[in-house]
Amino acid sequence: MNHKREKKTIAYLLCISIILLVIGLYTAFASISFASPSRGPVKYDVYFSEVGTNKDVDNRVIVNNNRIDLGINFTFYGQELLANTSLNNDSDVDTKLEELNMTNLEDIKVGKSDITGIEYSLSDYISYKVYYEYDSEINNIKSPNSIAVGDMLRKNTTNNVIIKVAFKEEHQLTKDQIHVFEKQLNREIDVNLFLEAIYLEA
């Protein structure tokens, strides 16, 4: 009787051992088949190079990695600032533009008419555009298209960019807007703008 019990116990233990072995092998093969290789930390280094500007307009520029701050002093109609720079990708990987932050000109108030009571914003006097200077086949961009979210910047490449800030021509403004500029602002508008480009792995 005891001999039969010992045989049953051995058989049960053998079955359990086989089941555990099968589970162990399945887990091992699954980890081999589906685990992705470790790549280590990725270096991101996307930045604006030094900015060059025309000297027709009084301006000041600060470049800080992926951000540019511009200060401009406009004193007459039709003045225009052209700032040339480039976006450089020294990262380990290809990147694409995930976020583009720019000054919203409508949010900056410059003066309220003492005739009509209308309050004017920078957008009523200033135009602001950021666009590519040259075509780039490798990054699939065309000039003079505006820089936009989703644009490519592959590793070890550069996209040349122009920032254009212009004071509108007199004929583009209303009489009331001209009155505010000439009489209330003494023909001077200080403009402070920023541009920030955030790139992530493509």
pLDDT at 36: 40
pLDDT at 27: 44
Is 60's pLDDT higher than 60? Answer: yes
- Dump pLDDT digits (tens) for 126-159: 999 999 999 999 999 999 999 999 999 999 999 9
Residues 200 and 181: their CA atoms lie apart, in Å, by 42
pLDDT at 5: 52
Q: pTM of the prediction?
A: 0.77
Task: Tell whether 52 is covered by a domain.
Answer: yes
Burial of 88 (0-12, 13-18, 19+ CB in 10 A): middle
Domain that holds residue 85: 46-201
Residues 66 and 147 occupy one common structural domain: yes
Residues 16 and 94 occupy one common structural domain: no
Task: Tell whether 40 is covered by a domain.
Answer: no
Residues 93 and 129 occupy one common structural domain: yes
Number of domains in the chain: 2
- Dump pLDDT digits (tens) for 10-47: 545 445 554 544 444 344 434 333 334 555 678 889 99
Task: Tell whether 125 is covered by a domain.
Answer: yes
Residues 117 and 140 occupy one common structural domain: yes
Residues 102 and 129 occupy one common structural domain: yes
Residues 119 and 162 occupy one common structural domain: yes
Residues 61 and 28 occupy one common structural domain: no
Residues 113 and 190 occupy one common structural domain: yes
Residues 128 and 188 occupy one common structural domain: yes
Residues 100 and 186 occupy one common structural domain: yes
Confidence of residue 6 (pLDDT cuts 50, 70, 90): low
Residues 195 and 100 occupy one common structural domain: yes
Task: Tell whether 41 is covered by a domain.
Answer: no
Task: Tell whether 8 is covered by a domain.
Answer: yes
Residues 66 and 9 occupy one common structural domain: no
- Dump pLDDT digits (tens) for 83-129: 999 999 999 999 999 999 999 999 999 999 999 999 999 999 999 99
